[in-house]
Amino acid sequence: MKNVSLLIVLLMISVASIAQKKMQLVESKEKKRVDVLWNGRLLTSYRYDDSVFKPFLFPVNTVHGKTVTRGWPLEPRSGERTDHPHHTGVWMNYESVNGLDFWNNSTAIPADKKNLYGTIRHDAVVKKIESNNSATLQVKASWLHPDGHVLLKEETTFHFTVTNNQFIIDRKTVFTSLNEPVVFKDVKDGFYAIRVARELELPSTEAGNFTDAHGNVTNVPKMVSNEDVTGNYISSAGRTGDSVWGTKGTWVMLQGKKDVTDITIAMVDHPTNIGYPSYWHARGYGLFAVNPLGKKIFSNGKEELNFTLKPNTSVSFTYSLIIAERKISEKEMNKMADEFAKKKE
């Protein structure tokens, strides 16, 4: 009887422990993803779909299930833009790495031009750690030349946290070169980015054309209506709206409403990063990116970087992405950025 009683107690403790575990990482190799769940609800998925040519997080949701990322081209939604098919969820890559364009690669690139574009291949899930309100996911990837040889090895650690009804994604990525120098040419399109839902874009009906490094033009068509489009950028440097593009700052917030709920998406730079405080590639049509490696276009030629990673050396980049169902004040954002800056890599 004592053994039976002990078994029952241990079983009850085990069940209680499982019930208290709020954050989960659920891997599906068949679906090529790792789902990040909070109380059984999807916050985001780390994905490596064959058709996207890079690992990415998609979708990205608030703690209460509001989706802040654009659905197209993976999960199209009525009324959203259908430009830049390479803008999928949250991702990290760059327009010119040893002359190869990793940023603009997508299924829209013609076969006869594929030799100009690089691919990031997911290699392995290294580590999964779950706790009450946080989880850690460590992954490895390879940046590939079109002929298949590896230019860069990537090791990325995501720390997913829920605190005060905020979903926070801290990301540290380490790039390691192999037997050749790797040159990140000073260009516009990069580096760590999110493409947001239509409601969080800046109100505009203007059309635009955007050309990549190889002359391919992407048209951002004129939108018929700005109904429910509410976004606005705010930077640590005191800039707002479209004027944030091409300026430096330790953080940038994008604030608006989604389904009548206040939303803040904030991206925070870290002092250990190259180029800190970074330039921001924040477009009104919904691309929100930090680019520490592109200086020339943002500074009107006053600065230039062309960062080179020597053979068999490493460099790291650390960022925080905050998704909140409320407006975060500039004072509070400064405090959060200061706290992030004190974190060890």
Q: H/E/C letters for each residue in the chain?
A: CHHHHHHHHHHHHHHHHHHHCCEEEEEECCCCEEEEEECCEEEEEEECCCCCCCCEEEEEECCCCCECECCCCCCCCCCCCCCCCCCCCEEEEECCECCEECCCCCCCCCHHHHHHECEEEEEEEEEEEECCCEEEEEEEEEEECCCCCEEEEEEEEEEEEEECCEEEEEEEEEEEECCCCEEECCCCCEEEEEEECHHHCCCCCCCEEEECCCCCEEEECCCCCCCCCCCEEEECCCCEHHHHCCCECCEEEEEEEECCEEEEEEEECCCCCCCCCCEEEECCCCEEEEECCCCCCCCCCCCCCCEEECCCCEEEEEEEEEEECCCCCHHHHHHHHHHHHHCCC
Q: How confident is the model at residue 65 (pLDDT cuts 50, 70, 90)?
A: very high
Least confident of 98-102, 162-166, 232-236, 334-338: 162-166
Each residue of 37-46: pLDDT tens digit?
999 999 999 9
- Which CATH number do you get for residue 267? 2.70.98
Query: Where in the sequence is the domain holding 141, given as residue range(s)?
Result: 2-342
The structure's pTM equals 0.91
Q: Does position 215 have pLDDT exceeding 80, yes or no?
A: no
Q: Does position 224 have pLDDT exceeding 70, yes or no?
A: yes
Each residue of 72-90: pLDDT tens digit?
999 999 989 999 999 999 9
pLDDT at 343: 83
Total domain count for the chain? 1
